[in-house]
Amino acid sequence: MRIRLSLAALSLVGGAGLATVSVPSATAAACTDIDVVAARGTFEPGTLGFIVGDPVYSALQRKITGKSLSSYRVDYPADLSPTSAAQGNTNLVNHVNSQAASCPNQRFILVGYSQGANVVDNSIGISSAGAVVGSPIVATIPAALEPKVAAVLLFGNPIRALGKSVTGTYQSRTIDFCATGDPICQSGGGDVGAHLGYTANADAAAAFAATKV
């Protein structure tokens, strides 16, 4: 079924695109126990993302006790440009590489919403090419650093509408929320509002991550 999205909804969920790009390397932050790396959705406001990133980070701070947390906002356009997701993919991987070099004991929680989920998918080796606001893989977290990724938290993940999901190395560490009727992650979904309600899953995502760190 073809879905006609309103302009307001389209501004959040975006369009497809693909390209290979290069972006500046991310700079290292403080050596906390856990670095929460969040990729926001298309045009999503907020520091890490008003709908997902910010509430999830707050929930993680409540659920994970006895460990220090920091956050990183993936530096990418999060817009409808054809290189947007690819830029995010590159920046996320550069950040993890930089942090791992500077803080060898640090672990990571990866958070992605909508286009940001495509960014995370690509970064862990699951291509989002062909998905809404997707792109081919341009960088992946090196195999040597895979054990440092404690959890992967995904929301409204566009590859789900293609019948794909996170498999392999990261599968047991991944929770992937797709609301009933969300047309971005559910093929044939017709409820655009469902794509905007993932704040409600923040506590569940944080509880899952807390079991992995």
Residue 114: CB atoms within 10 A of its CB come to 33
Query: Three-state secondary structure along the chain?
Result: CCCCCCHHHHHHHCCCCCCCCCCCCCCCCCCCCEEEEEECCCCCCCCCCCCCHHHHHHHHHHHCCCCCEEEEECCCCCCCCCCHHHHHHHHHHHHHHHHHHHCCCCEEEEEEECHHHHHHHHHCCCCCCCCCCCCCCCCCCCHHHHHHEEEEEEECCHHHHHCCCCCHHHHHHEEEECCCCCCCCCCCCCCHHHHHCHHHHHHHHHHHHHCCC
114 is catalytic: yes
70 is catalytic: no
Chain Cα centroid distance, residue 205? 13
Q: Which of 71, 84, 114, 135 is catalytic?
A: 114
35 is catalytic: no
Angle 32-113-103 from CA coordinates, rounded to 5°:
20
Q: Which of 35, 75, 121, 182 is catalytic?
A: 182
Q: Residues with catalytic annotation?
A: 114, 182, 195
